[in-house]
A and B are shown apart, each in its own frame.
Chain A
Amino acid sequence: MSTVIKSSELDFQNIKESLKDYFKSKSEFADYDFEASGLNNLLDVLAYNTHLNGLTANFAINESFLPTAQLRSSVVSHAETLGYEVRSITTSKAVVNLSVNMSGVVGRRPQIQLPVGWTFTSSIDGISYTFRTQESYFAKDDGTGTYIFKDSKGSSNIPIAEGIEKTKTFLVGEKNERQVFVIPDETMDIATAKVLVYNNAGSTGYQTYIPLKKAVTIDKDSRVFSVREAPNGHYELNFGDGVSFGKKPDPGQKVVVTYLSSKGPLADNGTVFTSNSDFNHLGNDYPVVVTTQTESTGGANKQTIESIKQLAPIAYAAQQRLVTSLDYKGTILSNFTDVTDCNVWSGDQNIPLDYGAVYVSLNFADGISDTVKENTKAQIIGQFTDNLSVVSITTKYTDPTELFLELTLGFNFDPSLTGFSLSATESTVYRFMNRYFSENLNKFEKIFRRSNMLTEVDAIDQAILSSKCDVKAQLRFEPTIGDKRTFELNYPMSIAPPDPYTYIVQSSTFEYEGTLALIRNKLSSTRLQVTDIDGNVLLDNVGEYFPATGLVKIVGFTPEAFIGGFDYIKVSVVPLNESVIKPLRNYVIKLDETLSYATATLDRQNTTSTV
């Protein structure tokens, strides 16, 4: 995909030469000396002017398309033409249980109400954030004076959202004017907007308008509104045209919009919430007891330009349906801020095959609890896949599988070409490896290509003359001490065939029969053995590996103890093709920093010494 268009020449000298050539091609100027100082100066001025105009033209053309636009306002505008709603800042939400204890209170009411907007405080990294309820909840006396608040469906799980409630009031102008109501607040979570339209400035009667995307049908009387991001980052409240696309507020009416102004992701990971006030009943105050069910999550800043560019075309292709795997992916990433990465594949691509199913693997933001993860998965199914997917197709989740790479990177180093020492350069290259993985891998569908990485290694310093890299792929399994079990490790690539000199499969160490041991293949064989670190066989057959399918099967195995404080064992294999490692389906490639090295070899480029 192009990201920049260069429509016109932007090099000053080239522009000047083109200009000169153009004049020379004209008969009137054929005999002019363009190198003469006066004319040359004039050409400089004109070339600069052309240069500036060329820049302007390029800016204009680049802003004309979604992939090449640089300004957020342009990107948002293009996304809107595709029917994509750009995400505003999003409030962080937590789920709590709320109760009030009034045991022993005489004359207590059988039912009490917690009003909308009840506030709580949570301290996160030393900063206090305000959370609030977004609807009212009721609680009944359980007979002992304990009141547990529940929603309309009877659930005691009460969502609370972070943010300061703000209100903007507008008076509707003349009928013929285009009615745009600007909300000058970049921190607005547009999903929390509530709009009431009063008959006039002093009226108490109002009509409630609903968000456009929640409308089932729309005609000239539909009371709907939409909020869109304005070019300056603020928001615009829009209504229908009063003809066919929703009701248009009448002149003189008062529009009141209420919303949450949010801190976004800063309010995530709140675990302790305290009610800001007690519950008053019959003139007495009773504390509201707050029990956290899930920590605050889901807060997000405004959708980034890159995210909009990636997801808006996918949303257009999806057309509010879930047919292809790409449709699922785009829909999930657009709607769930907890999900940082996602991969989706058809059941016919899964191992084992599972027809009639779509597999989804999700990566969540750091610190998300299992409860929140499960809630998010349930919401994806409940809100989207059940409603929009092909009938009879079911959605199934599978956790990401981390495939670690162990890189042994070697490079030739000529110290005469740099001011850095050999060891300092080794550290630089090692840090580069880590950075390369964090920037280019660590995500679904990101492929490791050895030559790409080595090209960048060679460019780190001119003293690095050449480089090479041995690659091993590593999966981990968690055996249980004393419980013999079978483990199948599926590598997403073919494994090198057995070799008479090299161990193709090799595990990390563990304790077995009272000694330090490891699993590795017998040389020239696919059979797996348990050996001590000197190579003496402790168990002759503990499984097998299958080079073509990438399967390592460890049968009836249990260690006596783990080594190194881990509760897992690493199993490393030599890939058949070390140049490219593709993470199929739910695999995510990461670097095993503890088993990766960068080692330099001195190379003074001396071609006269003998070997």
Chain B
Amino acid sequence: MAAFAQTLRDFGRHATNLNKTLVDEILPEHYRDDYPNLITFLDAYYEFLDSAENFGGIIEELQTIRDIEDTKLRYLDLLFDELGLGISEGQFITPREVIRNFGNFFRVKGSEYSVHGFFRAFFNEEIEITYPKERLFIVGKSRVGTEDAKVIQDGRLFQVFSTLIRGPIPLVQWEQLYRNFVHPSGFYLGAYVVLESEPQVPITTGISIPYINPNINVFSSAALTYAAEGEAIGALGSFRPLPEPGIAKTISGYRVAYYGLDGQDSDQINNEALLYVNRDYVAESYAGELERFYLRDRYNLYRNFDAFGSMTIFELEEYYSSMYELSGFWVSFDDKIDATGASSNNVPNSAVKFSSTNDTFDARVWYRK
């Protein structure tokens, strides 16, 4: 059944061909004896007519001409005109895959999911999305000092309605496409082009230098366990936290937190952050805002908040892969162990907050199990 769902053509069998020459049957019987060359001639003509680029071949194409899996690329372009706002199939490495997903893509446009999908489909590149509003200095809430790296609202990139995309492609190459397919009108669109190089710096030291996975969106701190230098924290499955006094924990079952990590979208950052929360390393020395993690990826406008309020982080994580967050809004969750202790799956009960501003997170006024 799956094969039929993909294409109208049955690849497992011979091509359906209902053509049959009737020249021999239609012409009077004595023609066979008297004019055999004429019959051969007309047979050859109908053979010509049924060839690939001729009438017969084209009529046969009609059966599958709108079949995304089977139609020729030149016809696929016409389907792109219908379904993909006129973009050419040549824009994509896997056009058939892309066109099949356009409906889903349009339904989630504006979300982080769609932003990542856009760059993957159109440019085969991974990008990073950040919200400059997270770095805004807020009077009475932010601390003054370079260590906090807060910036004053500038009326352009650094304001609430702003999205910053970091990737290897210059803005001029993708801006118009992005605005047509993804960009929530009304938001500021900023872009940094990342120039990548890996210089070798010959530094030796007597002690181990902690390696911090840059993909982990963690603000600090002493509560985190670092892998040793050279140990591949990003290589999933090989990671082992170093035992340290006060935070050494059993690591059995930590893979559970990775179950949704497919490397195909932006899950990775937050799943890794989730790992720490799930392992309750952070909770061990919870010190307030610094140990906050952002689950920014997906957020459904139609989500019933009350339902969220009854979920643990673990449950939230399970739900996570089916949520869609609108770009510019985020979900954050408190990692502090609640007074009620751990739930049945040995995961701390947690709180969830929805916010479109970068204000201070106070879990207790929001949803807490």
| Interfacial residues, chain A to chain B (CB-CB below 8 A) | 1-2, 5, 7-9, 18-19, 22-23, 26, 28-29, 42, 46, 50, 53-54, 56-58, 60-61, 64-68, 78, 82, 312-314, 316-319, 321-328, 344-348, 353, 355-358, 390-394
Is B242 positioned at the interface, with any CB of A under 8 Å from its CB? no
Query: Please, how many angstroms separate the alpha-carbon atoms of A316 and B105 in the complex?
Result: 11
Is B75 positioned at the interface, with any CB of A under 8 Å from its CB? yes
**B82 interface neighbour in A53, A67, A391, Cβ under 8 Å:** A67
Contact at B45–A46, with CB atoms within 8 Å? yes
Residues of B within 8 A of A50 (CB): 48-49, 54-55
Instruction: For the complex formed, measure the closest distance between the CB of B187 and the CB atoms of chain A, giving whole angstroms.
Output: 7
**A66 interface neighbour in B81, B85, B185, Cβ under 8 Å:** B81
Instruction: For the complex formed, measure the closest distance between the CB of A349 and the CB atoms of chain B, giving whole angstroms.
Output: 8
Contact at B185–A355, with CB atoms within 8 Å? no
For the complex of A and B, the 7 pairs showing the least CB-CB separation, nearest first, are A53-B55, A355-B161, A65-B78, A57-B58, A393-B186, A348-B188, A323-B110
Query: Please, how many angstroms separate the alpha-carbon atoms of A348 and B301 in the complex?
Result: 24
Contact at B65–A355, with CB atoms within 8 Å? no
Instruction: For the complex formed, measure the closest distance between the CB of B136 and the CB atoms of chain A, giving whole angstroms.
Output: 13
Contact at B75–A28, with CB atoms within 8 Å? no
Is B368 positioned at the interface, with any CB of A under 8 Å from its CB? no
Specify the chain A residue showing the minimal Cβ separation from B111: A323
Residues of A within 8 A of B162 (CB): 355
Residues of B within 8 A of A61 (CB): 58, 61-62, 65, 75
Is B309 positioned at the interface, with any CB of A under 8 Å from its CB? no
Residues of B within 8 A of A56 (CB): 55
Instruction: For the complex formed, measure the closest distance between the CB of B287 and the CB atoms of chain A, giving whole angstroms.
Output: 32
Contact at A356–B161, with CB atoms within 8 Å? yes
Is B83 positioned at the interface, with any CB of A under 8 Å from its CB? yes
With contacts A57-B55, A67-B78 taken as known, whether A324 is within 8 angstroms of B182 at the C-beta atoms is yes
Most A C-beta atoms less than 10 A away, residue of B61, B107, B159, B185: B185
19 contacts between A and B (CB under 8 A): A9-B53, A53-B49, A53-B55, A313-B86, A317-B84, A319-B103, A321-B110, A323-B185, A324-B182, A328-B185, A346-B185, A348-B187, A355-B186, A355-B187, A356-B161, A357-B186, A391-B326, A392-B356, A394-B186
Instruction: For the complex formed, measure the closest distance between the CB of B46 and the CB atoms of chain A, giving whole angstroms.
Output: 10
Instruction: For the complex formed, measure the closest distance between the CB of B57 and the CB atoms of chain A, giving whole angstroms.
Output: 9
Residues of B within 8 A of A345 (CB): 185
Is B120 positioned at the interface, with any CB of A under 8 Å from its CB? no
Query: Please, how many angstroms separate the alpha-carbon atoms of A42 and B35 in the complex?
Result: 15
Contact at A22–B188, with CB atoms within 8 Å? no
Instruction: For the complex formed, measure the closest distance between the CB of B79 and the CB atoms of chain A, giving whole angstroms.
Output: 7
Residues of A within 8 A of B65 (CB): 61, 64
1/0 contact string of B182-212 vs chain A (CB within 8 Å): 1111111100000000000000000000000
Is B254 positioned at the interface, with any CB of A under 8 Å from its CB? no
Instruction: For the complex formed, measure the closest distance between the CB of A45 and the CB atoms of chain B, giving whole angstroms.
Output: 10
Contact at B186–A353, with CB atoms within 8 Å? no
Contact at B55–A344, with CB atoms within 8 Å? no
With contacts A46-B45, A56-B55, A324-B180 taken as known, whether A313 is within 8 angstroms of B85 at the C-beta atoms is yes
Instruction: For the complex formed, measure the closest distance between the CB of B205 and the CB atoms of chain A, giving whole angstroms.
Output: 46
Is B66 positioned at the interface, with any CB of A under 8 Å from its CB? yes
Specify the chain A residue showing the minimal Cβ separation from B79: A65
**B59 interface neighbour in A23, A60, A65, A346, Cβ under 8 Å:** A60
Interface residues of B in 35-86 (CB under 8 A from A): 37, 40-41, 44-45, 48-49, 51, 53-55, 58-59, 61-62, 65-66, 75, 77-79, 81-86
Query: Please, how many angstroms separate the alpha-carbon atoms of A317 and B40 in the complex?
Result: 54
Contact at A356–B66, with CB atoms within 8 Å? no
**B62 interface neighbour in A23, A64, A68, A328, Cβ under 8 Å:** A64
Query: Please, how many angstroms separate the alpha-carbon atoms of A318 and B185 in the complex?
Result: 13
Residues of B within 8 A of A64 (CB): 62, 65-66, 78
Is B245 positioned at the interface, with any CB of A under 8 Å from its CB? no
Specify the chain A residue showing the minimal Cβ separation from B155: A353
Contact at A29–B44, with CB atoms within 8 Å? yes
Instruction: For the complex formed, measure the closest distance between the CB of A41 and the CB atoms of chain B, giving whole angstroms.
Output: 13
Residues of A within 8 A of B79 (CB): 65
With contacts A353-B155, A390-B326 taken as known, whether A2 is within 8 angstroms of B81 at the C-beta atoms is yes
Query: Please, how many angstroms separate the alpha-carbon atoms of A355 and B154 in the complex?
Result: 12
Most A C-beta atoms less than 10 A away, residue of B37, B55, B85, B155: B55
Query: Please, how many angstroms separate the alpha-carbon atoms of A582 and B189 in the complex?
Result: 22
Contact at B54–A54, with CB atoms within 8 Å? yes
Is B109 positioned at the interface, with any CB of A under 8 Å from its CB? yes
Residues of A within 8 A of B51 (CB): 22
With contacts A67-B82, A323-B110 taken as known, whether A353 is within 8 angstroms of B156 at the C-beta atoms is yes
1/0 contact string of B88-104 vs chain A (CB within 8 Å): 00000000000000010
Residues of A within 8 A of B326 (CB): 390-391
With contacts A326-B180, A358-B186 taken as known, whether A317 is within 8 angstroms of B85 at the C-beta atoms is yes
Instruction: For the complex formed, measure the closest distance between the CB of A398 and the CB atoms of chain B, giving whole angstroms.
Output: 14
Residues of B within 8 A of A312 (CB): 82
Contact at A348–B189, with CB atoms within 8 Å? yes
Specify the chain A residue showing the minimal Cβ separation from B54: A8
Is B181 positioned at the interface, with any CB of A under 8 Å from its CB? yes
Residues of A within 8 A of B301 (CB): 391
Instruction: For the complex formed, measure the closest distance between the CB of A252 and the CB atoms of chain B, giving whole angstroms.
Output: 40
**A2 interface neighbour in B77, B106, B155, B188, Cβ under 8 Å:** B77
Specify the chain B residue showing the minimal Cβ separation from A46: B45
1/0 contact string of B316-329 vs chain A (CB within 8 Å): 00000000001000
With contacts A2-B81, A313-B83 taken as known, whether A19 is within 8 angstroms of B58 at the C-beta atoms is no
